[in-house]
C-alpha cells in the first residue's frame, strides 16, 4: 500500500491480515460484503452471457444460432441466475453487509459467524446452479411451473431447484442477521427515526427475506417430492391442484421483486440527498412507504395468474390489491423529486444513476398498472410487454441503483476514487443501451409477440434488431465500470474519509475503514441528512486531494 497521501490509513480492513484463509474465514462484515460482491459479479457475467446469446439469436426471425430447445435452456439459465443469484442478493448482501454496521455505528453485524455461513450457503447454491447449467440446464423458465418441471421435464430440474433451496437459506440468515443488527446494535442516540433511509429499506427487505423465502423453499421441496416420489400435490391426475404451485411460487416471487427493488430505493434516497445536499422531503413517509411496500407485496401475487384459470373473483381481488402498491411507490418517487427542488444538485456518476433510476422505475411501475388491470392483462400477458415491464423494474431500477450504490460507496470500500469522467460516460451508455434494448420490447409485446419463443413472425424483425443492438451497447456499458473499478483499486487517487462531503456515520471514519470500524462508538445527536444550508461542493480534483 502506498503511503504518499496522508488520507490513507496505514492499517485498514483490507490489509489488516493477508492470505486466502484470512478472507475465506473472515468474520468482518466488510470482507464478507466483498466476498458476495465477487460471487454475484461472476453470476452476473454468466447470466449476462446467456442474455447476450439470446439477443444475438433473435436477430433473425427463424433464430440465428440455436435449436429451440437450447434457446429454452438459455432463457431459463438467464432468469434463474439473474433472479436468484444476482438480483436478490445484489444490494443487501454486498452494500447492505458493508454499510449497515457503518451506518448505524456498530462494529459488526449481530451474528458475524452466521453472516459468513450465509455466504457459504450462497456459494453452495451457486455451485449447484452452475453445475446444472454446464451439465445441460433446465428448460422450464425461471418459474419452474409444473408440469414442465414435473411430469414433462426433460432436463436437470432437481439440481437447479436444490441450488435455489440452498441459496434461499442464505437469504433467510442474512435477513435474520440484519433485523437483529438493526434492532440491537444501533449506536447511542441513533433512534429509529434518525436511521438513514437505506437502513429502513434493508429492514423492510429483511422482513420479506424472513417471511417469504421459507415458502419458496417449501415449494421447490414439494416439487421435488412430486417429481421423485410421485406424491400428488400439483398434478390433478393424482389429486393435486394444478394452480397450487403458482400460488405458492408467486407468494414468494412477487415479494422477491421488492427484495430486488426496495434496497435500490434505499440507495436512491441516500444518493438524492447526498447530491442535492438536502434533507429528504418527508422522511417518515419514505421510511414507512418501505414497510408498507413490504407488507402489500405479500397480498398481490395473483396478478401473475389472471389468465391461468384462476377464479375471476380472485382475479378481481388481486387486481385491486395490486393497484395499492402504486401508492407507496409513488410516495417515494414524489418525495425524491421534491427533495431535488431547490437543492444544490451536482451530477457525479452516482447521481446520474439515481436520476436514471427515477425515470426508468417510473416507466416500469406505470406499465405494471397496465398489467394489473384484468382486461389489458389478457392481451399483454405472456408477451414481450411483460419482459419489458419487469426489466424496467429489475434492470432499469434495481441494477441502476446497485451500480449507483457501488459508485457512491466505492471510495469507502477501497479508499480510492475511480475516474469520474469514465463513470459518467458509462452511466450514459448504460441508460441509452438499456432503453434501446427494452423500449422496443414494449412495442413488440403490444403488437403481440409472445415471450419465450425461439422464432418470431418476420414483421417483428426491425424492433428485434433494435433491441439486440441496444443489448450490445448495454453490454459495453457494463464492461467499462468493471474495468475502471478494478483499475482504481490500485491506481485510483486516494479518496479520503468523505469525498462526497456526505452526511452519515460511514463518512466520519477513514476509507477504507479499520477492521473495528469505529475507534470509539459514536454518539448520534442529529437527524439523518442534516445538511447545512446550501453550499457548493466539487468532485475532488484529479490530483486526488480530497477536501475533507
Partner 1 sequence: MVEHPEQAADYHPPHIVPVPIYVAVFVALIIFTALTTGIAYIDLGKWNTVVALVIAVCKMVLVVLFFMHVKYSKGLTRIVILGAFFWLGIMITLTCSDELTRHWEIVPQGWSAGMHIARQLF
Name every residue whose Cβ is closer than 8 Å to that of residue 544 and which is 6 or more positions away in sequence: 5, 417, 492, 493, 494, 495
**Residue 314 interacting partner from partner 1, Cu ion, none (CB closer than 5 to 8 Å by kind):** partner 1
The DSSP letter of residue 383 is B
- The nearest distance, CB 250 to partner 1, in angstroms, is 10
Among 148, 298, 418, 434, the residue binding partner 1 under the rule CB under 8 A is: 298
Asked if 217 touches partner 1 (CB under 8 A), the answer is no
Mark 200-239 with x for binding to Cu ion (rule: CB under 5 A) and - for no binding.
----------------------------------------
In whole angstroms, give the CA distance from residue 331 to residue 337.
Answer: 10
Smaller CB distance to Cu ion: residue 254 or 391? 254
Name every residue whose Cβ is closer than 8 Å to that of residue 81 and which is 6 or more positions away in sequence: 43, 46, 47, 50, 129, 133
Contact 105, 186 (CB under 8 A): yes
Smaller CB distance to partner 1: residue 307 or 447? 307
Asked if 317 touches partner 1 (CB under 8 A), the answer is yes
In whole angstroms, give the CA distance from residue 539 to residue 496.
Answer: 12
What are the φ/ψ torsions at residue 383 (nearest 5 degrees)?
A: -110, 180
**Residue 186 interacting partner from Cu ion, partner 1, none (CB closer than 5 to 8 Å by kind):** none
In whole angstroms, give the CA distance from residue 131 to residue 125.
Answer: 10
Residue indicated by cell numbers 414494449: 442
Residue indicated by cell numbers 430447445: 69
Among 16, 231, 314, 447, the residue binding partner 1 under the rule CB under 8 A is: 314
- The nearest distance, CB 363 to Cu ion, in angstroms, is 17
Contact 201, 266 (CB under 8 A): yes
User: What are 31's three cell numbers?
Assistant: 470482507
- The nearest distance, CB 211 to partner 1, in angstroms, is 5
Asked if 506 touches partner 1 (CB under 8 A), the answer is no
Asked if 389 touches Cu ion (CB under 5 A), the answer is no
What are the φ/ψ torsions at residue 187 (nearest 5 degrees)?
A: -65, 155
In whole angstroms, give the CA distance from residue 131 to residue 160.
Answer: 9
Among 42, 45, 61, 112, the residue binding partner 1 under the rule CB under 8 A is: 112
Contact 187, 522 (CB under 8 A): yes
In whole angstroms, give the CA distance from residue 281 to residue 79.
Answer: 36
User: What are 317's three cell numbers?
Assistant: 381481488
- The nearest distance, CB 174 to Cu ion, in angstroms, is 22
**Residue 310 interacting partner from Cu ion, partner 1, none (CB closer than 5 to 8 Å by kind):** partner 1
Among 64, 120, 154, 184, the residue binding partner 1 under the rule CB under 8 A is: 184
**Residue 254 interacting partner from Cu ion, partner 1, none (CB closer than 5 to 8 Å by kind):** Cu ion
Asked if 248 touches partner 1 (CB under 8 A), the answer is yes
Among 55, 73, 254, 503, the residue binding Cu ion under the rule CB under 5 A is: 254
Q: CA angle, 274 as apex, 7 and 29 as ends, to 5°?
A: 60
Smaller CB distance to partner 1: residue 243 or 286? 243
**Residues making contact with partner 1 (CB under 8 A):** 107-108, 112, 183-185, 188, 211, 215, 237, 241, 243-244, 247-248, 251, 298-299, 301-302, 305, 309-314, 317-318, 516, 521
**Residues making contact with Cu ion (CB under 5 A):** 254
Amino acid at each position: 500500500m502506498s503511503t504518499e497521501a496522508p488520507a490513507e490509513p496505514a492499517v485498514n480492513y483490507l490489509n489488516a491480515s493477508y492470505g486466502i484463509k484470512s478472507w475465506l474465514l473472515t468474520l468482518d462484515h466488510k470482507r464478507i460484503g466483498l466476498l458476495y460482491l465477487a460471487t454475484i459479479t461472476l453470476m452476473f457475467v454468466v447470466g449476462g452471457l446467456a442474455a447476450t446469446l439470446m439477443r444475438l439469436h433473435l436477430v433473425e426471425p427463424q433464430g440465428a444460432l440455436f435449436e429451440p430447445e437450447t434457446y429454452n435452456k438459455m432463457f431459463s439459465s438467464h432468469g434463474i441466475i439473474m433472479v436468484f443469484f444476482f438480483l436478490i442478493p445484489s444490494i443487501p448482501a454486498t452494500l447492505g453487509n458493508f454499510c449497515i454496521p457503518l451506518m448505524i455505528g456498530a462494529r459488526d453485524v449481530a451474528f458475524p459467524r452466521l453472516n459468513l455461513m450465509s455466504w457459504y450457503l450462497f456459494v453452495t447454491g451457486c455451485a449447484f446452479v452452475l453445475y446444472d447449467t454446464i451439465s445441460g440446464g433446465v428448460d422450464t423458465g425461471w418459474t419452474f411451473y409444473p408440469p414442465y418441471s414435473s411430469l414433462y421435464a426433460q432436463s436437470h430440474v432437481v439440481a437447479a431447484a436444490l441450488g435455489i433451496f440452498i441459496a434461499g437459506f442464505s437469504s433467510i440468515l442474512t435477513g435474520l442477521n440484519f433485523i437483529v443488527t438493526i434492532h440491537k446494535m444501533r449506536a447511542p442516540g441513533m433512534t429509529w427515526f434518525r436511521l438513514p433511509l437505506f437502513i429502513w429499506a434493508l429492514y423492510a427487505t429483511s422482513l420479506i427475506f424472513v417471511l417469504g423465502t421459507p415458502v419458496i423453499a417449501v415449494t421447490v421441496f414439494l416439487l421435488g417430492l412430486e417429481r421423485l416420489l410421485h406424491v400428488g400435490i400439483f398434478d390433478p391426475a393424482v389429486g393435486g391442484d394444478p394452480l397450487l404451485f403458482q400460488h405458492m411460487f408467486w407468494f414468494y416471487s412477487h415479494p422477491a421483486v421488492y427484495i430486488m427493488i426496495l434496497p435500490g430505493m434505499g440507495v436512491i434516497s441516500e444518493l438524492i440527498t447526498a447530491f442535492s445536499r438536502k434533507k429528504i422531503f418527508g422522511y417518515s413517509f419514505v421510511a414507512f412507504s418501505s414497510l408498507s411496500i413490504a407488507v402489500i407485496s405479500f397480498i398481490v401475487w395473483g396478478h401473475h395468474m389472471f389468465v391461468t384459470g384462476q377464479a375471476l373473483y380472485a382475479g378481481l381481488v388481486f387486481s385491486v390489491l395490486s393497484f395499492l402498491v402504486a401508492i407507496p411507490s409513488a410516495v417515494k418517487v414524489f418525495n425524491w423529486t421534491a427533495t431535488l427542488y431547490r437543492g444544490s444538485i451536482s451530477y457525479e456518476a452516482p447521481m446520474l444513476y439515481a436520476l436514471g433510476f427515477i425515470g426508468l422505475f417510473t416507466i416500469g411501475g406505470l406499465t405494471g398498472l397496465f398489467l394489473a388491470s384484468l382486461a389489458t392483462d389478457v392481451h399483454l400477458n405472456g408477451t414481450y410487454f411483460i419482459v419489458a415491464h419487469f426489466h424496467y423494474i429489475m434492470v432499469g431500477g434495481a441494477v441502476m441503483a446497485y451500480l449507483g450504490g457501488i459508485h457512491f460507496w466505492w471510495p469507502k470500500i477501497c479508499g480510492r476514487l475511480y475516474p469520474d469522467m469514465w463513470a459518467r460516460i458509462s452511466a450514459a451508455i448504460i441508460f441509452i443501451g438499456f432503453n434501446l434494448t427494452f423500449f422496443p420490447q414494449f412495442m413488440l409485446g403490444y403488437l403481440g409477440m409472445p415471450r419465450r419463443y425461439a422464432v418470431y413472425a418476420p414483421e417483428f424483425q426491425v424492433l428485434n434488431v433494435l433491441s439486440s443492438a441496444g443489448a450490445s451497447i448495454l453490454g459495453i456499458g457494463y464492461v467499462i465500470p468493471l474495468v475502471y473499478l478494478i483499475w482504481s483499486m490500485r491506481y485510483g487517487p486516494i479518496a479520503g474519509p468523505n469525498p462526497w462531503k456526505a452526511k452519515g456515520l460511514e463518512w466520519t471514519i477513514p476509507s477504507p475503514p479499520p477492521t473495528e470500524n469505529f475507534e470509539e462508538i459514536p454518539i448520534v445527536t442529529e437527524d439523518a441528512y442534516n445538511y447545512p444550508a446550501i453550499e457548493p461542493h466539487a468532485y475532488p480534483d484529479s490530483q486526488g486531494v480530497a477536501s475533507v
